[in-house]
Structure 1
Amino acid sequence: MAKPVRAAIGDNWITCVFCKGDLFRDREVKLNSTGMELLKFGWANESATGLICWNCGFVHLFANRDIELYKVKKGEI
């Protein structure tokens, strides 16, 4: 099972835009385009960091490479 993380870009901590939660599951998400898929270059598409809210499940996508993820200890959940 995925472990929760907190995330920030610089000094700005990220919270869920729906429920204001601050714990997320993270995963890489491919930003596929139709043209690249038709030409069989889907592997070359850009990717983003997906943050899935631990509380409500809302999905946030960040193409910003400066995003930092921080592990959450068991006692902090």
Structure 2
Amino acid sequence: MAKPVRAALGGVWITCNFCQGDLFRDREVKLNSSGMEFMSLGWANESATGLICWNCGYVHLFVNRDIELYKQRKG
């Protein structure tokens, strides 16, 4: 199972927009467009960092590559 992370962007800690939690699961998310998929170029689509709230499951997407992730112990 994935370990929880805390995340910051520009020195500001990120909290969940829904429940205000501060622990997330992270994963890469492809931002597919139908045109690129139609031409079989889906692999070239941009990707984002997905932060999935550990508490409620709300998904946050960040295209900014300056996002910082800090592994946490679930406790």
| Residue matched to 1:30 | 30
Q: How many residues align?
A: 75
| Residue matched to 2:16 | 16
Deviations 1:14-46 (A, max 9, x none): 000000000000000000000000000000000
Q: Which runs of 5+ in 2 are unaligned?
A: none
- Structure 2 CA distance, aligned partners of 1:11 and 1:47? 22
Q: Which runs of 5+ in 1 are unaligned?
A: none
Please tell me the root mean square deviation across aligned C-alpha atoms, in Å.
0.8
How far did residue 50 of structure 1 move?
0.2
Normalised by the size of structure 2, how large is the TM-score?
0.97
Secondary structure of the 2:43 match is helix
Normalised by the size of structure 1, how large is the TM-score?
0.94
How far did residue 11 of structure 1 move?
1.0
Q: Does 1:41 align with 2:62?
A: no
Structure 1 moving runs of 4+ over 2 Å = none
